[in-house]
């Protein structure tokens, strides 16, 4: 390709503080990693069991993306993780949950007008312990450390907090309680920040003993 034919990106023309999408769109990108020779089946079975009728979805080499209403997106990714979980398989999941990017736009989304969540009833009786390392990144504001402390302190109140690691907070608890907490954090952030990103690394059935 000739130099003068290159198509450069121009996020610099975005307006920080103003979400690029005008509609109320939440994005979740995630990547399951079941550490077993049967990884293809585990991932595809998990994805297949999710009712994705209320979110836009795409799966490629780098994982799966859901876009839609906040509650529908979180419901769908929780369902995928819970359905992929197997008692004897160590699995991690990297999950990015975000809203308000100035570079986003009103494309690739579904906004349902149905009240109840599509997957909640089917997964609410499935419980297992999970470990998380997670970080919150509120963008475009210098008041971010106070906000991070406020949401971390809520995890202390809920009994999910284990410790503050380098570059992230370590949580542990029942998968349902952890997803409920992250859903609370997301709603909290919607009230306080124009653009924010939650990066959550999940781990289940780790053979490494706890400290």
Residues in 40-99 that interact with its own copies by CB under 8 A: 40, 59-63, 65, 67, 90, 92, 94, 96, 98
Q: Compare residues 19 and 78 and give the one whose CB is closer to its own copies.
A: 19
Give the separation between CA 137 and CA 96, rounded to whole angstroms: 11
Binding characters for its own copies, 115-154, by CB under 8 A (x = yes):
----------------x-x-x-xxxxxxxxxx-xxx-xx-
Region of 139 (left: φ > 0; alpha: ψ -120 to 50; beta: rest) is beta
Mapped onto helix, strand or coil, the DSSP state of residue 139 is strand
Per-residue buried b or exposed e for 87-100, using 16+ beta carbons within 10 Å of the residue's own CB: eeeebbbebbbbbb
Least CB distance to its own copies at residue 36 (A): 6
Query: 12 to each of 79, 102, 140, how far by Cα in Å?
Result: 36, 10, 13
203 part of the interface to its own copies, by CB under 8 A:
yes
Number of residues that bind its own copies (CB under 8 A): 73
We find the least distance from the C-beta atom of residue 177 to its own copies, in angstroms, to be: 17
**Cα(153)–Cα(156) distance, integer angstroms:** 5
Based on the shown chain and the rule CB under 8 A, indicate whether residue 189 belongs to the binding site for its own copies: no
If binding is defined by CB under 8 A, does position 39 make contact with its own copies? yes
Q: Using the rule CB under 8 A, which residue among 22, 24, 48, 156 binds its own copies?
A: 156
Minimum distance from CB of 152 to its own copies (Å)? 5
Per CB under 8 A, the list member of 11, 106, 124, 127 interacting with its own copies is 11
* DSSP H helices in 36-174: 39-48, 70-84, 120-123, 144-157
């Amino acid at each position: 390709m000739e130099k003068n034919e290159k198509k450069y990106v121009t996020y610099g023309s975005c307006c920080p503080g103003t979400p690029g999408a005008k509609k109320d769109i939440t994005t979740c990108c995630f990547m399951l990693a079941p550490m077993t020779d049967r990884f293809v089946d585990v991932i595809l079975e998990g994805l297949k069991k999710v009712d994705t009728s209320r979110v836009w979805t795409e799966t490629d080499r780098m994982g799966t993306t859901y876009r839609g209403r906040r509650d529908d997106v979180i419901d769908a990714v929780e369902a995928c993780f819970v359905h992929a979980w197997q008692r004897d398989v160590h699995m991690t999941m990297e999950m990015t949950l975000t809203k308000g990017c100035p570079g986003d736009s009103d494309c690739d989304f579904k906004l349902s007008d149905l009240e109840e969540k599509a997957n909640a009833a089917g997964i609410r009786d499935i419980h297992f312990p999970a470990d998380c390392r997670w970080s919150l990144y509120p963008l475009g504001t210098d008041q971010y450390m106070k906000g991070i402390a406020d949401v971390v302190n809520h995890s202390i109140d809920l009994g999910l907090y284990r410790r503050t690691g380098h570059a992230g907070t370590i949580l542990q608890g029942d998968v349902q309680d952890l997803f409920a907490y992250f859903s609370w954090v997301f709603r909290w952030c919607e009230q306080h920040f124009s653009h924010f990103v939650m990066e959550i690394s999940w781990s289940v059935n780790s053979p490494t003993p706890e400290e």
